[in-house]
Amino acid sequence: MTRGTGRGGGSAAPRSVDVARLAGVSQKTVSRVFNDEQYVSADVRQRVLAAAEELGYRLNNAARALASGRTRSIGVVTLGTALYGPATLLMGVERVVRDTGYALRVVNTMEGDPAGIAGAVDSLLDQGVDGIVISEPIDEEGDGGDISARLDVPVLVIGAPSPFTASTVLAAGGGADRMARAATEHLLDLGHVTVHHLAGPQRWYAARDRLVGWRSALTEHGKDVPPVVQGDWSAASGYTAGRELASHPEVTAVFAANDDMAIGLIRALTEAGRRVPEDVSVVGFDDIPVAGYVTPPLTTVRQPFDAVAQEGLKRLVHSIENPQADPLPASDPPVDLIVRASTAPPPPRKPPGRGRRGNSHLPKGGSPTPR
């Protein structure tokens, strides 16, 4: 049989009635299979899918939208940035949405626009999306109250508090504080007396969470909490911070809020004669693709972007398709510390006063006194 010609001959696209005839089932059963409804046996489902594959049948989403009152689309509000974290998370969301059979509609916001989220959500609601994903990592101090009344679709917020209220608000992607705590405790377990922190910009929720995790780990272990050095996520800002930290000999361990800043930090420490990890241990965050190939290979926390997208979208689709049911429970993302060669025990501590005698050992003639 020629793919896509249908059972009735000619060049017309196959219809659900053609699939039903070939599979030996009713047209209603075909509809149930493609709507993923219950009460269809595995054998019948397989026959319907095989018939659809043989005929080249594709579900008419437009017709299904008219019948169900849904557009089979999910909107995503995301910050327009090429930074590794937000960009990778968006790619994960795109993959999962595509696999669920929904269409994806993305609206980018711009940093510095407090009305960005509200405007983006308004645009998506006007397009009739069935659910919305908010992947907006920055606190713009905007007011979502003006759109809350219109939010009659489920909303998934990733890695941030919800900027507005809705009948169904789901959260995903938390736990950065636990990951930061694990990074800090790794350095403490190696024997460092404290850990310095190279933080990200504090308008970012992720930077705040990582700072909280670092500080809580030090406090709970009774360690001193050093002053925070702040960067802007870039390797250049890490380099600048590294030049500052390298001038303080008491610094033996640094937790950087992302890998790019950690890499810049290591470059500055090395140029200043502070060896990594012999003199200073460094831990990053994200596990970017090059993290294992820099010198030395970077110890870091791997972010579970795909797992967050997978679970979050599963819960969102469930709420879309089962509006009367309770939301699926959430689970904490795993903490995955990748230990490489940029961390080690601290250097031996010199006895007080050692190396400070200077010329006290030199006699008037300038030659060392024998010892």
Q: Residues near 206 by Cβ (< 8 Å), separated by ≥ 6?
A: 85, 137, 159, 176, 200, 257
What is the DSSP annotation of 247-261?
T-TT--EEEESSHHH
The token duo for 226 is 């050093």
Q: Residues near 252 by Cβ (< 8 Å), separated by ≥ 6?
A: 192, 193, 279, 280, 281, 346, 347
Tell me how crowded residue 228 is: count the other CB atoms within 10 A of its CB: 14
Would you say how long the chain is, in residues? 371
Q: Is it the case that residue 93 has pLDDT exceeding 80?
A: yes
Residue 67: C-alpha distances to residues 71, 72, 87, 98, 319 (Å):
10, 11, 35, 21, 19
What is the DSSP annotation of 32-52?
HHHTT-SS--HHHHHHHHHHH
174-222 pLDDT, tens digit each: 899 999 999 999 999 999 999 999 999 999 999 999 999 999 999 999 9
105-161 pLDDT, tens digit each: 999 988 767 678 888 888 898 888 999 999 988 887 655 556 676 788 999 999 988
Round the CA-based radius of gyration of the chain to a whole number and report it.
28
Q: Is it the case that residue 365 has pLDDT exceeding 50?
A: no
Q: Which residue has the tokens 């030395």?
A: 296
Supply φ then ψ for residue 190, to 5 degrees: -75, -10
Residue 292: C-alpha distances to residues 92, 157, 299 (Å):
22, 31, 8
Bigger pLDDT: 13 or 85? Answer: 85
Alpha-carbon span 259 to 233, nearest angstrom: 8
Q: What is the mean pLDDT of residues 96-112?
A: 86
